[in-house]
Structure 1
Amino acid sequence: MYLQFRDDVEAALTSALESLDLPTDDLGVEDPPEGVEAVLASSAAFRLAGEVGAPPPKVAVDIAEAIDAEAYEYVESASAQGPYVNFVPSDAYYEGTVESAQDEEFGHLEPTGESIVVEHTSANPTGPVHVGRARNPIVGDAVARVLDFAGNDVERHYYVNDAGRQMAVFTWAYENFDESDLDSEPEREKDDYDLVRYYRKGNDFLENGDPEDVEEAETEIQAIMQGLEAGDEETYERVQTVVDTVLGGMRESLERLPAEFDEFVKETRFLRDSSVEDVVSRLKEFDEAVYEEDAWQLELDEFGIDKNLVFLRSDGTTLYATRDLAHHEWKFDNYDRAVTVLGEDHKLQARQMNATLELLGNDTDQLQQVLYSYVNLPEGKMSTRAGTGIDLDDLLDEAVERARNEVEDRLDDRSRDDEITEEDIERIAEQVGIGAVRYDIVSKQPTKAITFEWDRALDFEAQSAPYVQYVHARCCGILDEAGLESAPEEFDASLLQADAERELLEVVARFPAVIEEAADDLEPHVVATYTREIAETFNTFYRECPVLKDDVDDDVRDARLALVSASKHAVGNALHVLGVAAPHSM
């Protein structure tokens, strides 16, 4: 209803401005000022004051008087207050909100017909997923979910670096060392933890081994890199043995978040189909291409970038950036838009990529990059493995354990015996623990650095995942107690007149617009902000408007149950967009 209300407001403003012979190119529709009893407002009077030759408050009065509210289904009234024209929605708006939010798909926008590929995570397959990169799959998956909810045809891709020196070193080490040569046992019984020991052993050998042996190893490593560049099938298969095994373990960790992918696109794909060779040939033809310091480079001064892009080594091997150029051109050929989620340390590479793609004749408006800052991690258990870093599995295991302790602390003996089983505790701990990590990270603006704090993330009383999840569980509990899964078959939404009911309806109604905003700006954290708002508003409604008490009129009870059902769909779908579980009970 909010989107329909906004359409009515825009139509009313356009008609009024036309009747006043004023331009309609900027209607200034926005949220009303603090404390104003309205759902939308227009600040157009600010823009038009100079043209009219009157102060903004006078212009606002003229606009408000020219609006015929009765001509619009969802507009109750329009009035001037200071320089703003404020719009109050009609009863049809509130009643329509209750009806529309009964759909389990509430919040999904109409199909756009646009195909979008979202690339995120793309960590090198050299070992377990490191928690320092956890913001990438969390933000990336949420961006993909938002775009999907907004009606786009979305694919989620993981770009696999299987052609660089790191993978050549890894392959060589795996083929040349035995279990007996390794210095430690795997930290977990997972393939990525098993094989990463070979990678570490190989790097240690190259750094500290006998010079003659290291020289021989470097020759073999170079041969692997050259074989990949040449498209040699045997070399490719050798490398993929390592890549696919490690990637399998990494996928298990990512699925816990959850972060799932439609396709794992490998760099070698673009070497094997000659796309990279084509890119290199075209780059060499540019006036900006120079051969310096034993490498082909691209000067990008005209784009305000003072660091050259190196695209070909003297030995004929390409770099990650070169192969990624071919990758992006493939995206442009197959999708309407490409979104890439990158750490802030890749800001320069992103600028170089955009500039080079433009030189190559591509429409870089197709490409959007979401940059994020890193997360400062908690102290304690998380930093005990000196020298090996902190893995995502460690963080998620501790999250579940802490959530389990919190749940058990909140249970008294009777509720444990009569209502909550050990299986329930385990389920809730998993949903709340992992949800808390994900929510705490995705709820912050990506470009801002954050410090992850356990007490804040798992606080059932504060603005956290458990706080919002509990509201969803409370909605389910109320409906369960009434013997319902959703709203009653018949209800009269016009009975929802109390301030707390209307305020909750206003928040519920805005959910589709929140999805629209998050998708337009690629900012899923605005959905998290919305979940906190709806949770707070629902709790006020729950305190002030009894639903199942004996003294509540039956018709009012059914209307409020319908509002509870609408709230359940709004908060549940908002949590889903964030990739956070919406528990039925807690």
Structure 2
Amino acid sequence: MYLSFRSAVVAAMGDALSALDFPTDDLGIERPPEDVPAVLASSVAYRLADVAGAPPPEIAADLAAEIDPDVYAYLEDVETRGPYVNFLPSDRYFDETLEAAQADDYGTLPDTGESVVVEHTSANPTGPVHVGRARNPIVGDALARVLEYAGNDVERHYYVNDAGRQIAVFTWAYETFEESALPEPERDSPEYEMVRYYRKGNDYLEEASESDREAAEEAIQAILQGLEEGDEETYERVSEVVDTVLGGMCGTLGRLPAEFDEFVKETRFMRDGSTDDVVDRLKDLDAAVFEDDAWQLDLPDFEKNLVFLRSDGTSLYTTRDLAHHEWKFDNFDRAVTVLGEDHKLQADQLSATLDLLGHDTDRLQQVFYSWVNLPEGGMSTREGTGVDLDDLLDEAIDRARDEVENRLEDRQRSDDLDSDDVERIAHQVGIGAVRYDVVAKQPTKGITFEWERALDFEAQSAPYVQYVHARCCGIIEEGRGAGQEVPDAVDADALTTAAERDLLREIARFPAVIEQAADELRPHVVATYTRDLAEAFNVFYRECPVLDADGETRPARLALVAAARTTIANSLDVLGVAAPESM
């Protein structure tokens, strides 16, 4: 309904501007001021003041006078307040919103027919997932969910770096050192057991004598060369390490949850010949130069050349990633990649090179994110001194459990929830707090994760929104126990108060929020919406009794609560946050 209403407003404003001989390139449509009971407004009068030689309020009045609400669907009235033209919805708008939001799939948009591959996380399989990189799987998974809600056919891919030097070092170390020479693993999980070899290997390379280090480097180089030449035995040796570590990492990612449809290995594009094919075509480009014993691309918009083939004939990560992206273009309509800000130069060079190779790079969209830090400061994986994501999630669950138990004790509700309920809620709230706090910020802004904010039931956090969902479920369950079911059909005319209408207006916005988040690749837009929706519900809850209401008001308010429950649940689902039925 909101999208249809917006289309009507666009048509009405366009017609009014044309009738007054004003330009129609910018309609100035936006959300109205908070104290205006409209759905949309136009501030275009500001822009037209100089053109028309009249004050904005006068222009707004002239535009409103040109609009006949009866001509446009869902439009009841057009009013002005100062420079704003405000568009008020009809009763039909509220009726259809209330009905639509009863459906479990409310907020999903029609199929676009477009296939989208979302590549995210893609952390090197060298050890446990680190907190600093946790933003990638959280933002990436939320982006995939947003794009699915927006009607796209989405696949989630993890690009596995199994051909770089780090993996060669890891494989050599795993085959070289005895487990008895290693410290105890920090957790009983494959990646924690395996990372000990990786750290041992790096320490050895830094501390060994020159001759020992040269021998190690020769073994490491042999692994890299074997991969480049497609040697099956070398591939199997590397795969044993990579697959073991990756399996453990996926266990951690599954806790978020962040799951994948396919793990695409870098060596795939070496073994099938596509990397060699890319190299041959790159050499034929006018931008190709052979300098410093390596093939490079002299890209005009970059200070640094892109090396794509070393002097020993081995390819580089970006070379193989070019073949990877050509494969994406062959199999998907659009490719979205989530990357850390430290990969921006590499990503920009890759895009420029794909353009030189004749690809439509508008099909490639890249979302960059900044790091997640804890108040204690920065974190590092190489030294083994950082904070692992598992540690953060464990702490989140523990803190959430304490908060839930304290609230039960304060409210003397210990009989309402058993230990299994408390544990379920602790996981839903704890994990939800981490995801929500990360995804609610613009990806390019750094985050310092703070427990007090993330787990604050009263502030704009995941628990705050989750509690509203639980409250909706409680009202509906209480009504059901008293024989008051949510009606199959209801007339929104019974919802007349400002709080009821404001809540309905927020519910109606949800499909448009999905559309905006998908178009702009900004899932934090949905997080902002969940807070607006939760606030609107809490105002309604304070001002409008539901089960004690009279006559037709009671079933209408029950239907409104059910609509709010569905909308909150789905908006949290977009973010990958659980919607508890009790808290």
**Residue in structure 1 matched with residue 400 of structure 2 by the alignment:** 403
Query: 1:30-87 deviations in whole A, cap 9, x for unaligned?
Result: 2224533322112333444555454433332222111110122311111233333211
Instruction: Tell me the amino acid that sits aligned with residue 359 of structure 2.
Output: N
Tell me how far 1:131 sits from its aligned partner. 1.0
CA contact (8 A) 1:445 1:523 kept: yes
Which residue is equivalent to 2:280? 281
1:103 aligns with 2:100: no
- 1:193 corresponds to which letter in structure 2? Y
Identity of aligned residues (%): 71
Match of 2:221 in 1: 222
Amino acid at match of 1:123: A
Match of 1:122 in 2: 122
Task: Give the distance between the partners of 1:294 and 1:367, measured in 2 at CA.
Answer: 32
> How far apart, CA to CA, are the structure 2 residues paired with 1:405 and 1:346?
39
Residues 1:383 and 1:542: Cα distance change in structure 2 (over 3 Å): farther
Q: What does residue 17 of structure 1 align with?
A: 17
2:578 aligns to what? 581
Counterpart of 2:409 in structure 1: which amino acid? D
Provide the residue aligned with 2:270 in structure 1. Answer: 271
Aligned to 1:541: 540
Residue from 312, 316, 319 that aligns with 1:319: 316
1:466 to 440, 463, 470: 463
Q: Note the aligned Cα RMSD (angstroms).
A: 2.0
Residues 486 and 211 of structure 1: CA distance in aligned 2, closer, same or farther (over 3 Å): farther
In 1, the alpha carbon distance for the partners of 2:17 and 2:414 equals 67
Cα–Cα, structure 1 residues 386 and 114, in superposed 2: closer, same or farther, change >3 Å?
A: closer
The whole-number CA distance in structure 2 between the counterparts of 1:415 and 1:435 is 25
Equivalence for 2:36: 36
Mapped contact 1:475–1:567 kept (Cα < 8 A): yes
Structure 1 CA distance for aligned equivalents of residues 381 and 250 of structure 2: 24
The residue type paired with residue 242 of structure 1 is: V
**Separation in structure 2 between the aligned mates of residue 388 and residue 24 of structure 1, nearest angstrom:** 58
Q: d(CA) in 2 for partners of 1:459 and 1:273?
A: 52
Structure 2 residue aligned with 1:93? 93
Amino acid in structure 2 at the alignment position of 1:511: F
Q: CA–CA distance in 1 between the matches of 2:195 and 2:502?
A: 54
Deviation at 1:412, TM superposition (A): 2.1
Whether the aligned pair in 1 keeps the contact of 2:408 and 2:414 (CA below 8 Å) is: no
Give per-residue Cα distances to partners, 1:248-304, cap 9 Å, x unaligned.
Answer: 00000000001011110000010011111111111122232222233222112x22x
Gaps of 5+ in 2: none
> 2:6 maps to what in 1?
6
For 1:10 and 1:162, the matched residues in 2 are separated by 51
Alpha-carbon distance between aligned partners in 2 of 1:556 and 1:276, rounded to the nearest angstrom:
67
CA distance in 1, matches of 2:100, 2:286: 59
Number of residues of Structure 1 aligned to a counterpart in Structure 2: 580
Q: Secondary structure at the match of 1:345?
A: helix
Flag the 1:287–1:197 CA change in 2: closer, same or farther, 3 A: same
Q: Does residue 556 of structure 2 align to residue 567 of structure 1?
A: no
- Equivalent-residue separation in structure 2 for 1:504 and 1:230 (angstroms): 63
3-state SS, counterpart of residue 557 of structure 2: helix
What is the TM-score of this pair, normalised by structure 1? 0.95
Among candidates 350, 354, 358, match of residue 357 of structure 1? 354
Q: Which amino acid aligns with 2:172?
A: W
Q: How far 1:444 sits from its partner (Å)? A: 0.6
- Secondary structure, counterpart of 1:307 in structure 2: coil
How far off is 1:23 after superposition?
A: 4.1
TM-score, length-normalised on structure 2? 0.96
Letter in 2 for 1:179: E
225-234 vs 485-494, which moves further? 485-494
Matched residue SS, 1:127:
coil
1:157–1:383 CA distance, 2 compared to 1 (3 A) = closer
Letter in 2 for 1:9: V
Q: Does residue 340 of structure 2 align to residue 343 of structure 1?
A: yes
Where 1:510 maps in the other structure, the secondary structure is: helix
Q: How far is 1:427 from its partner? A: 0.4
Q: Does 1:457 align with 2:463?
A: no
Q: What per-residue deviation string (whole Å, max 9, x for no partner) do you get for residues 498-539 of structure 1?
A: 110001001110011111111111111111111111111101
Quote the residue 2:256 is aligned against: 257
**Alignment deviations for residues 430-475 of structure 1 (CA, whole Å, 9 cap, x no partner):** 0000100110111011111121100110011111100100000000
- Does residue 528 (structure 1) correspond to residue 551 (structure 2)? The answer is no
1:137-156 maps to which residues of 2 (within 5 A)? 137-156=137-156
CA contact (8 A) 1:121 1:158 kept: yes
Give yes or no for contact 1:107–1:515 (8 Å, CA) kept in 2: yes
Report the alpha carbon displacement of residue 328 of structure 1 after superposing the two structures with TM. Answer: 1.0
